[in-house]
Structure 1
Amino acid sequence: MSDHRTLPCTAFAGDRLLAAGPLADVALAVKAAGGDALVFEDATGRVIDLDLRGSDADILARLAPPAEPAPRGRGRPKLGVVPREVTLLPRHWDWLAAQSGGASVALRKLVEQAMRSDGGKQTRRAAQEAAYRAMTALAGDQPGYEEAIRALFADDRTGFARSIEGWPHDVANFVTTLAFRSY
């Protein structure tokens, strides 16, 4: 299980950058600043609700990952394999069953191939969505907001920069970083 305490986040008090870094550090900075802040998960642009009650140790304990569940009897948990349900038509199951290595191997190969061939479109879309979420929360009432959204999804960096020229510096920097980062 991933440790949420290390999740890269950014906190804003109004339109001012309050803290950026691992969630644990950001949460403690928000508490020290009085608790009135919006905290964003950098990867998705989603707002994170923090429970800042109690001591610093209490806050960090709530952010810790839950205890590991007992190992399952089937699958390959050491490899990170996650069992999920897949619904396919009978002809798809027939084709998968005929593949070397069986259905699981064939599906993994197909997914890997699709991931390699998308040309970064999914990564680009994820960055746009993250920027959109943060822009909506931080700058929905700023001048040029609608134009900035259009430029963001048109992948127009020049138009985006022009649209956010009058925005508060910290907000403009943050949404630009989210929008045009490369993974």
Structure 2
Amino acid sequence: MTFVDSGAAPDSLTAFAGFQRIAAGPRAEVIAQLRGRDDTQPVFVFDDTTGEPIDLDLRPETASQVNALPEPAPRTVGRPKLGVVAREVTLLPRHWDWLNRQPGGASVALRKLVEDARKVNAERDTVRASREATYRFMSAIAGHLPDFEEASRALFAGEQARFEALVAAWPQDVKTHLARLSANA
């Protein structure tokens, strides 16, 4: 399969009522569109990056919510101004010994290893993330549709033509969103 940009913005959402796409775009726009709806049909909202269903608070905003100041973030360990966050890593003693012998110490060596792995595995990680996002969405909205199991197998096997053929009879908006999510799969 080809490696292409899925076009999903980092904070992009898509909302469905049944199998019909009723809103898409940045979080604020989707919330505004959903608040303006008159019907009471259940709405399912999905994160376009991960394919995960999410819950949105669609209650009307009050003046106190709009004017409220955000709480200051708690002080954390690391160098937050540089984007450095301290976390725990569990390694065997021989791993720590090797890391500590590296120029710059354990932190520098770990950063270099991670960056090298990110470069080497970038395309594979993109394919995996695309397949997982597609499957999450597909499971949530189309898990009971015909050929769901076979479509899932085709998705994870990388059989794009077979996947597209299996979902061809599914509702149009669902197929369109699946195509967008699975563009890198």
- Smaller-chain TM-score bracket: 0.7 to 0.9
Task: In structure 1, list runs of 5 or more residues that go unmatched.
Answer: 1-5
Contact 1:127 1:179 survives alignment (8 Å): yes
- In structure 2, the partner of 1:18 is 22
CA distances 1:55-74 after superposition (whole Å, capped 9, x unpaired):
38788789xx95341544x5
- Taking a change above 3 Å as real, the CA distance of residues 141 and 59 of structure 1, as seen in their structure-2 partners, is farther
- In structure 2, the partner of 1:128 is 131
2:147 alignment partner, one of 137, 144, 149: 144
User: Matched residues, percent identical?
Assistant: 49
Instruction: Kindly report which structure 2 residues correspond to 1:22-171, keeping only aligned pairs within 5 A, or say none.
Output: 22-33=26-37, 34=40, 36-55=42-61, 67-72=71-76, 75-171=78-174
Contact 1:51 1:59 survives alignment (8 Å): no
Give the root-mean-square deviation of aligned CA atoms.
2.5
Task: In structure 2, list runs of 5 or more residues that go unmatched.
Answer: 1-9
Deviation, structure 1 residue 138: 1.2
Deviation, structure 1 residue 80: 0.7
Take 2:33 and 2:62, find their aligned partners in 1: how far apart are those partners?
Answer: 10
Contact 2:126 2:184 survives alignment (8 Å): no
Q: Which has the higher contact order (CA 8 A, sep 6+)?
A: 2
Greater alpha carbon shift after TM alignment, 30-39 vs 42-51: 30-39
- Taking a change above 3 Å as real, the CA distance of residues 47 and 79 of structure 1, as seen in their structure-2 partners, is same
**1:93 partner amino acid:** W
- In structure 2, the partner of 1:3 is none
Contact 1:15 1:170 survives alignment (8 Å): yes
